[in-house]
Structure 1
Amino acid sequence: MSLSKRVLNVPTKALSRLCLLIPLLVVHNAGAEALEIELHILEAPPLTFVNDPRGYGIVGDVAVAAMTKAGYTVKVHVLPWARAQKHVSEEHDHLIAPLSRIPTREDRFTWIASIMPMERAFFSLERRVSSFAQAKETYRKIGVGLGSAQEDILRTEGFSDEQIYPLAIGDNPAQMLLMGRIDAWFNGVPESRYIWPKVSKRKLLMSKVGSSADLYLACSKQCSPEMVEHLREAVEALRADGTVKRVHDLYLPH
């Protein structure tokens, strides 16, 4: 199978663990054959994992649990993130997570439900900044995930193409920062704090939070209203019964 596209079957062990996290699993289509739905994710720990024994990460596990609770069979796909967004946007009834709800994406997707908030900041080893304006003057090259909301946010804030250095999402920007190939890393706070200790013991300087946008379970622009309603209800039920918090604490314990 091509490395550019991977299809993952949700393992029985992962589903069993998710069922233990959900106090009462009630599906809408009990007794009927479950409809298989594609869910597109990426490797963005601890938000989503492609291959981790614990599961699919905070947002990934909640998305899979919501799909299961709503009576759908899950088929997980992994594509380069920019391509995944284009593919889902142009298809019918495909799901994607975690997707930040930012203005440049608003009209391209159907926004089902927020899973968790996401704060973003600049991370560096030498100089801490307190604003986008100061970052623009201070950092020559800023690493961001390729196809990420961070890349869109910096362009919207007026950073030049020369300053924005898109890299494969994951630990690549952290490695580039450690090697001195970039001056700063603009990224989600929980993801950066999760990745950095695995890369280095050096102190990582964090700016004030510069941007915040919720991470969503989203669907294609052309998406079944019934599916949207069922999944939205499922996510809210998982939030109400404490499942979302339990999943969050599994990957980011206090």
Structure 2
Amino acid sequence: MSLNTRIFLKPLAVALSLAVAPFAQAADVNLITAQMPPFANGPDAEDKGMAIDLVAEMFKRASLEMTVTYEPWPRAVKSVETTTNNFLAPPFRTPEREDKFSWVAKLLSANQIFVTQGGAINSFEDARDLEKISVLRGSAMEKVLTEQGFTNLHPVTSDVQGEKLLVAGRVNAMYSVDIVTNDETTAGGFLRSDFTMGAPVVVSENWLAANLDLDPAVKTAMSAAMDSMRADGTYEAIVTKYLN
């Protein structure tokens, strides 16, 4: 079941408003994501999440109204790939996905790591003998592990589920990104000190992506919005809010 919230954004820049007005009037713009703190914290969260806040500010500066829809991650990816006027946050930009989406703006970089409750797993080789590894179902991370030859995967619908399985002893490690376990209290409500974070094994880029039919004027306006956010300190302020 999809969960929807509407974010109403007031126009700020006349130039951007004129550039995207025909698109905005023709159809709503929908941001599709999955609940994955701290990127997207869920429709009922007070702090919406780093990716949601970044994209909302981009839409605000581009004078667009945005609907946020929460779906399981594999469905979210498919929805944006196959239907117009949809954006996706925050997918990894990978060679396999390059021609499937319009890549609007880089949101941030993240390190893929193994998270355990014992000794650190610092490489794929270190993880070979583990009995079970949780990983987000349908994600680029799952594909990374599959391509590395791992067959001992336990796909999960969220990192919160992965953390709970790890604490319960049902998996031996969770393959995720360092940002998920950055705070003193994790998305699953556990202490960061409850876990052991391994060394980065892959560096990835999280992006705002869109359906290939995205209006070029909208893409230009959104890209310009991100540039202005980086220039005036808004980008750093939003990221710092969630990472510190």
Give the equivalent residue in structure 2 for 1:252: 243
Alpha-carbon distance in 1 for matches of 2:243, 2:17 = 33
Give the equivalent residue in structure 1 for 2:3: 6
Corresponding position: 1:72 with 2:64: yes
Q: Is contact 2:182–2:243 with CA below 8 Å preserved after alignment? A: no
Alpha-carbon distance in 2 for matches of 1:196, 1:47 = 10
Q: Is contact 2:163–2:188 with CA below 8 Å preserved after alignment? A: no
RMSD, aligned CA: 2.2
Give the equivalent residue in structure 2 for 1:208: 199
* Per-residue deviation, residues 122-179 of structure 1 (Å, max 9, x unmatched): 011123222112212x31110011222211111122212xx11101113110000000
Give the equivalent residue in structure 2 for 1:87: 79
Alpha-carbon distance in 2 for matches of 1:225, 1:46 = 30
Alpha-carbon distance in 1 for matches of 2:126, 2:235 = 36
The one-letter amino acid paired with 1:208 is: A
Give the equivalent residue in structure 1 for 2:13: 26
Give the equivalent residue in structure 1 for 2:102: 110
Q: Is contact 1:88–1:94 with CA below 8 Å preserved after alignment? A: yes
Alpha-carbon distance in 2 for matches of 1:177, 1:193 = 17
> What stretches of structure 2 of length at least 5 have no aligned partner?
none
Report the CA distance shift for 1:196/1:47 in structure 2 as closer, same or farther (over 3 A): closer
Per the normalisation by structure 1, the TM-score is 0.86
Alpha-carbon distance in 2 for matches of 1:155, 1:240 = 39
SS of the residue 1:100 aligns to:
coil
**CA deviation after TM superposition for structure 1 residue 202, in Å:** 5.4
**CA deviation after TM superposition for structure 1 residue 67, in Å:** 1.2
Alpha-carbon distance in 2 for matches of 1:116, 1:44 = 15
Match of 2:133 among 135, 142, 149: 142
Corresponding position: 1:52 with 2:45: yes
Alpha-carbon distance in 2 for matches of 1:146, 1:227 = 31
* Per-residue deviation, residues 230-252 of structure 1 (Å, max 9, x unmatched): 11111111111111110112222
Q: Is contact 1:39–1:77 with CA below 8 Å preserved after alignment? A: yes
Alpha-carbon distance in 2 for matches of 1:127, 1:178 = 14
Alpha-carbon distance in 1 for matches of 2:188, 2:170 = 19
Give the equivalent residue in structure 2 for 1:176: 165
Per the normalisation by structure 2, the TM-score is 0.89
SS of the residue 2:89 aligns to:
strand
> What stretches of structure 1 of length at least 5 have no aligned partner?
none
The one-letter amino acid paired with 2:173 is: A
The one-letter amino acid paired with 1:52 is: A
* Per-residue deviation, residues 3-46 of structure 1 (Å, max 9, x unmatched): x1111112x6xx6xxx8xxxx94251169584420111221111
Alpha-carbon distance in 2 for matches of 1:113, 1:192 = 24
Q: Is contact 2:135–2:175 with CA below 8 Å preserved after alignment? A: yes
The answer to which of 188-197 and 28-37 deviates more is 28-37
Give the equivalent residue in structure 2 for 1:221: 212
Alpha-carbon distance in 2 for matches of 1:102, 1:251 = 25
Report the CA distance shift for 1:225/1:201 in structure 2 as closer, same or farther (over 3 A): closer
Corresponding position: 1:129 with 2:126: no
Report the CA distance shift for 1:170/1:128 in structure 2 as closer, same or farther (over 3 A): closer
Corresponding position: 1:39 with 2:27: no
Q: Is contact 1:142–1:182 with CA below 8 Å preserved after alignment? A: yes
> How much identity, in percent, do the aligned residues show?
25
